[in-house]
Amino acid sequence: MIDRGWGCGWRNAQMLVSAMLMRSTEWRESLFGGCGYVPDIGSLQAWLEAAWHAGFDVEGCAQFGGSVQQSLRWIGTTEVISLLRVFRIRAQFIDFVGTHSAHNIFRPQHLGSLHHSIACDLCKRRPIEGIRHTSLAVPDYDLCDHCIRDPRAQHAGPFESHGTAPIHLGVKCSMCEVENILGVRYRSKKKNPQVDMCSRCVDFSQTTWGGRYVRVMVPEGDQDLENENRHRRLIEWIWNYFSSGFPEQGRGVVHTARLPLYFQHEGHSRTVVGIERYKKANGGIYHNLLILDPGIPDSTLEEALTLGQKWQQLVKRGPHTLRKPEYQLTYIEDGLVPENEMDVMKRLGPADTISS
Please say if the pLDDT value at position 222 is more than 60: no
Nearest Cα residue to 98 out of 232, 290, 243 = 232
Using the 8-state DSSP alphabet, how is residue 102 labeled?
A: S
> Residue 57's pLDDT is what?
94
* Cβ neighbours around 162 below 10 Å, total: 14
Phi, psi torsion values for 241, nearest 5 degrees: -60, -50
CATH number for the region 8-98+231-355 comes to: 3.90.70.130
CB 63 within 8 A of CB 82: no
Dist CA 154 CA 253 (whole Å)? 57
Q: Looking at per-residue confidence, does 279 or 149 come out higher?
A: 149
> Binning pLDDT at 50, 70 and 90, where does residue 213 land?
confident
Distance between CA atoms of 43 and 17, rounded to whole angstroms? 13
Digit-coded pLDDT (tens) for 162-203: 888 888 877 888 888 888 888 888 888 765 567 888 888 887
Q: Judge contact between 237 and 351, C-beta under 8 A.
A: no
Q: Domain locations in the chain?
A: 8-98+231-355, 109-216
pLDDT > 70? residue 150: yes
Helices (H), 232-335: 232-243, 298-307, 311-315
Return the pLDDT at 267. 87
User: Which residues, in sequence order, are CB contacts of 249 under 8 Å at separation 6+?
Assistant: none
Please check whether residue 162 is in contact with residue 134, taking contact to mean a CB–CB distance below 8 angstroms. yes
pTM of the entire predicted model? 0.67
